[in-house]
Amino acid sequence: MTYKMTPKHPSESLTILTDLVLPSETNPLNNLFGGELLARMDRAASIAAGRHSRRITVTASVNHVAFNRAIPLGSVVNVEAKVSRAFKSSMEIFIDVWVEDRQSGNRTKANEAIYTFVAVDDTGRPVEVPQIIPETELEKQRFDAALRRKQLSLVLAGKMTPHEATELKAIFL
C-alpha cells in the first residue's frame, strides 16, 4: 500500500521575516548589501520549505533574483516566502521583498526571488513532499509556470538535456 500525503495550500507555508537595515549590513552607498538580502531570503525560504514538508530542507538552487530597488539604511524590510509548487522532493519557493515606510506604513515591493529547496532525510537523501494546491490567482500563475522554471534550472545546472525540457521546448519551438 502506498501512503499518500495530504496536499497543502501555499498559505500554510507563508513565512514573513521582518527586520531593519543596520549600518553593518550596507554597501558604500548606504543601501542594503545584496548578500545580506540573499541570506535573509534563504532563511525565509528555508522556514517556508520546512513548514510545507516538515522535513530537513536544503537549498538546491537560486533560480532567479531581481534586485529592482535599493533598500536604504534604516528601512524596515519584510521578506515573504511561500511554497509555489512542490514536485517529488523539491519545492519552488517564491520570495517577495517589501520595504515598509516607517511613517505611513505603506509597503513598496523592492525585490523578488525564486529558490528551489529539497527535502532530505537524516542522511541527506531526498524524500517525498506533499503536493501543493494553489488558491489565489497569483498562486495559480506561479504554480503553472513552476515546471518551466524547474526545467530551465536543471538545464542550466547540466542535470537535464534541452531535448528533455518539454515545457521549454513548448515555448521556443
The contact set with ligand COA (CB under 6 A) reads 58-61, 87-90, 116, 118, 120, 124, 126, 150, 153-154, 157, 159
Give the integer Cα–Cα distance in Å for 131 and 13: 12
Which residue, 51 or 131, has its beta carbon nearer to ligand COA? Answer: 131
Task: Using DSSP, state whether 43 is helix, strand or coil.
Answer: helix
Closest residue to ligand COA: CB criterion: 87
Tell me the CA distances in angstroms from 117 to 40, 110, 173, one per residue in order. 15, 23, 30
Q: How far is the CB of 156 from ligand COA (least distance, A)?
A: 7
Rounded-to-10 torsion of CA 39, 45, 46, 49: -170
CB of 23 to ligand COA, least distance (A): 27
> Of 29 and 171, which has the nearer Cβ to ligand COA?
171
CB of 56 to ligand COA, least distance (A): 10
Q: Least distance (Å) from ligand COA to the CB of residue 95?
A: 15
Q: Considering beta carbons, is residue 66 or 157 the nearer one to ligand COA?
A: 157
> In 3-state terms, what secondary structure has residue 97?
strand
56: DSSP letter: E
Nearer to ligand COA, 21 or 86 (CB): 86
Binning the chain into helix, strand and coil, the percentages to the nearest 5 are 35, 35, 30
